[in-house]
Amino acid sequence: MRQSQKTEQQADRLSRIGLENRKYTRARSTDYGEGKGMSVTIQDLVLDRNNLNQAYLRVKRNKGATGIDDMTVDDLLPYLRENKTKLIASLRDGNYKPAPVKRVEIPKPTGGVRKLGIPTVVDRMVQQAVAQVLTPIFERIFSDNSFGFRPHRGAQDATARVVNLYNQGYRRVIDLDLKAYFDNVNHDLMIKYLQQYIDDPWTLRLIRKFLTSGVLDHGLFARSDKGTPQGGPLSPLLANVYLNELDKELTRRGHHFVRYADDCNIYVKSQRAGERVMRSVTHFLEKQLKVKVNPDKTKVGSPLRLKFLGFSLGVDRNGAYARPAKQSQKRVKQALKLLTKRNRGVSIEQIFEEIHRKVRGWLQYYSIGKLTGFIQRLDQWLRARIRQYIWKQWKKFKTKITNLQRLGLSYRDAYVFASTRKGYWRTAHSKTLSYSLTNRKLENLGLINMSKTLQLIQK
């Protein structure tokens, strides 16, 4: 299958037909097919060869776990070579039947598990093909206050909007927590909300098939009467379509809000206004959208104390600024603590590689915040953890003497220091080990300097 850039242009052309008052079923295209002015349906765009090529390449690039059929992304191309014609025919005539998703449970950092549904790679490719065509359509419709799972938008943009709202005087926030949102989406309402913008029976039937394909959990099949399982390429878009109804209602009421997928914060100027808005919005969500609001976690408070997307706010003479929430700081430190346990028994090179992967992504995510002081302290603590690990690795008395000499100590000083009876953590903070295993030497061995890396990211 060959890659082309025409698909995105065709889908974008479809999206430009109209805005919210237009239902999308077909477009006039002079580039699609042989004749000028040919009518192009959403079905045509989804099943277009270029669109399917792009979907295949995206699934291949994203990799991911196998579904219930154990087919890997590497198996997908040989499968398509043999079954492409049959697959497209089954999609076109409506006989395509998605396989049940495989249930996978991922532990949450705050406790509990997040339930994912992993479709087969073939189903992932079909979902991706649908998402590529529908995304440009709905991007014209979605709220400017929605940031999750959208092109060229992300958590950092949402956080910057929060800082701006606080500086405008919105000092109280309603932190909405939807209970198991992805598991409780009402299928009939989902189709209804899609029908507001898409008047294409083929597309709607295919989406309903994905919604109702079922779940295979430890060999047991369960029907899908509600919910849109996390794990497929189409689920994020559908989740946003559903909660776009909340966005429309909040906009109609004149509220200032920021939503990232099912995390929604509404900003007001007083505690009393916040409690009033919380009650009315909870009623709308539960009665109109049929989703459950968690009363124990939904609260009105200060953005300086509550966290949103891992950030909280701080204030100085220049106004509000983002910073990693205390829970986020504790979490990254705990992760590094596990990586540097002195009894792991793996090479120091492997540990440095694991630390780099963990820390680089974390710094990239939080780089818009003010975190220089925390990172400097974390750097110092991490180096002590590494010195402790190295000291433990040396084990034998003679090995310690030899390695200390290599680091520049005389035999006598090395002998005296190797004879210490202090514990590993106390030894790691000693002047002798700090002066011999210097920060520069640790960097040369491969340990990331988080402070320098942050400066490079923030340039």
Distances from the Cα of 213 to the Cα of 196, 210, 274, angstroms: 23, 5, 40
pLDDT tens digits, one per residue of 121-133:
999 999 999 999 9
**Structure tokens, 274:** 């916040």
State whether the Cα torsion 435-441-446-451 is positive or negative.
Answer: positive
Instruction: Assess whether pLDDT exceeds 60 at residue 449.
Output: yes
pLDDT tens digits, one per residue of 111-122:
677 888 999 999
Q: What are the residues whose beta carbons fall under 8 Å from the beta carbon of 101, sequence distance 6 or more?
A: 67, 68, 117, 118, 119, 123, 213, 214, 215, 216, 229, 231, 232
Cα gap 237→146, rounded to integer Å = 12
Cα gap 369→158, rounded to integer Å = 12
**Structure tokens, 388:** 């402790």
Q: What is the DSSP letter of 232?
A: B
Q: How confident is the model at residue 25 (pLDDT cuts 50, 70, 90)?
A: low
Q: How confident is the model at residue 11 (pLDDT cuts 50, 70, 90)?
A: very low
Cβ atoms of 120 and 214 closer than 8 Å: no
Lowest mean pLDDT among 6-10, 73-77, 394-398: 6-10
Cα gap 84→81, rounded to integer Å = 6
- pLDDT recorded at residue 371: 94
What percent of the chain clears pLDDT 90, i.e. is strictly above it? 75
Q: What share of the chain is helix, strand, coil (3-state, %, to 5)?
A: 55, 15, 35
Instruction: Assess whether pLDDT exceeds 90 at residue 23.
Output: no
Instruction: Assess whether pLDDT exceeds 90 at residue 225.
Output: no
SS3 422: coil
Which amino acid, residue 221? Answer: F
Cα gap 335→327, rounded to integer Å = 12
- pLDDT recorded at residue 222: 82
Cα gap 11→178, rounded to integer Å = 32
pLDDT tens digits, one per residue of 27-56:
433 333 333 444 678 999 999 999 999 999
